[in-house]
Amino acid sequence: MAKKTVADIDVKGKKVLMRVDFNVPLDENCNITSDTRIVAALPTIQSILDRGGSVILMSHLGRPDGEKVARYSLAPVAKRLGELLKKNVIFVNDCIGPQVKAKAAALKPGDVMLMENVRFYKEEEIKDKNAKDNPALRKAKDNFAKQMAELGDVYVDDAFGTAHRDNASMLTVPQLMGNKPKVVGFLVEKELKFLGDTINNPVRPFVAILGGAKVSDKLAVIENLLTKVNRILIGGAMAYTFFKAQGRKIGKSLCEDDFIEKAKELFSKAKAAKCELILPVDDVIAREIKENTENKVVTGNIPDGWLGVDIGPASRKLFAEKLADAKTIVWNGPMGVFETKPFDEGTKAIAQAVADATDKGAKSIIGGGDSASAIKKAGLSKRVTHVSTGGGASLEFMEGKKFKCIEIIDEK
């Protein structure tokens, strides 16, 4: 069933409690280095303001681990949000308590208030599974969430980046808002549409590109996609676990020995599902991960003392060929140590191949995190269909997991 969005409800005169993902990168002086996540929330915020509502924003920033850490204050975010909205944003230096309650009650239509980092309280991150048989933890989480739940007449979830977490502000707050409207914002609506439609109703050929360091991080994704896609291209350090499963020597490349048997099983499952599981045919190897260090290209076994750091030129060509006729593409994870030059060449080549396929009519979804960084770094963001705002969330979505915080949203 489709979920109700902020456009489906009347917000005039209402106080709208909205969970956003303002977990922006900061430099050592707490200056925002990228406001992408703030900009992504603007359409939903502006829609509420234009229709006569006021907005109360909740977010986390960084990992302060339940402590009030000045470095992780959302004050710089309030300033930047005000600049983008061209209006004053009321910042309150807490997210619960009498001061917050009073400021929220005083809001007039068109006002915007941003509360302080919800992760300044350890109750925000108490997991429901831990609280299930621990009344004290359950009570603490509920008391914390209840104070925020009482602030709003409507709840809006526009934080896809944390959609896979059962944090208090994501799940307990809307649960405690009873029959008050609970909807998604335009950002979450877009993510669900692109990721959901792409994976469940793809135009074929459907190709998935998976990279990154660990097979263990992507196992469930591979298993879920085997029956949905036509091809899976595997790069990054996770490829070396598959190589070892084939009996190849991998030098000192990263390998998860505990998952070698699982990798062997995946080859069999892919064959049974008639899904091509495609590994690199050559590798860039080096003795250490260091910028512009000595490196070479090898086919087959990797010598002792060397480690794989990127897919080689023949692999880039092969992967580009396997993407050329694609009509649907999902990509999650880099092809090598893309933060270190020249080991970013494989990832750049894949970014280009995805953009080229998109130019020819493919729908391409970039699954957040490192892949999003890579496509942006390559200057190709505008040549792909959708870049997800949630790395971990998009990965779990590709695994086929249900998100509790989305399930409790009102149906259309």
Catalytic residues: 37, 214, 369, 392
- H/E stretch holding 144: helix 135-149
Q: Which amino acid is residue 285, in one-letter code?
A: I
- In the chain, what is the greatest distance between 2 CA atoms, to the nearest angstrom? 69
For residue 269, give the amino acid letter: K
Q: How many CB atoms lie within 10 A of CB 88?
A: 10
For 165: left if phi > 0, alpha if psi spans -120 to 50, otherwise beta; the answer is beta
Helix (H) or strand (E) holding 19: strand 15-19
CA dist 377 → 152, 154, 339, 373 (Å) = 39, 38, 10, 6
Distance CA 289, CA 179 (A): 55
**Are residues 326 and 226 in contact, defined by beta-carbon separation less than 8 angstroms?**
no
| In 12-121, alpha helices (H) | 36-50, 75-85, 98-105
- Looking from the CA of 410 toward its CB, the CA atoms found within 13 Å total 19
Give the 3-state secondary structure percentages of the chain, helix then strand then coil, rounded to 5: 45, 15, 40
Q: Is 277 helix (H, G, I), strand (E, B) or coil?
A: strand
Q: Is 377 helix (H, G, I), strand (E, B) or coil?
A: helix
List, in order, residues 6 or more apart from 70 with CB less than 8 Å away: none
- 8 Å CB contact between 153 and 15: yes
The rounded distance, in Å, linking the Cα atoms of 352 and 152 is 45
Using an 8 Å Cβ cutoff, are 192 and 402 in contact?
no
DSSP state of 2: P
Measured between alpha carbons, how far is 53 from 47 in angstroms, rounded to an integer? 9
SS3 category, 363: strand
Distances from the Cα of 259 to the Cα of 83, 215, 305, angstroms: 49, 7, 22
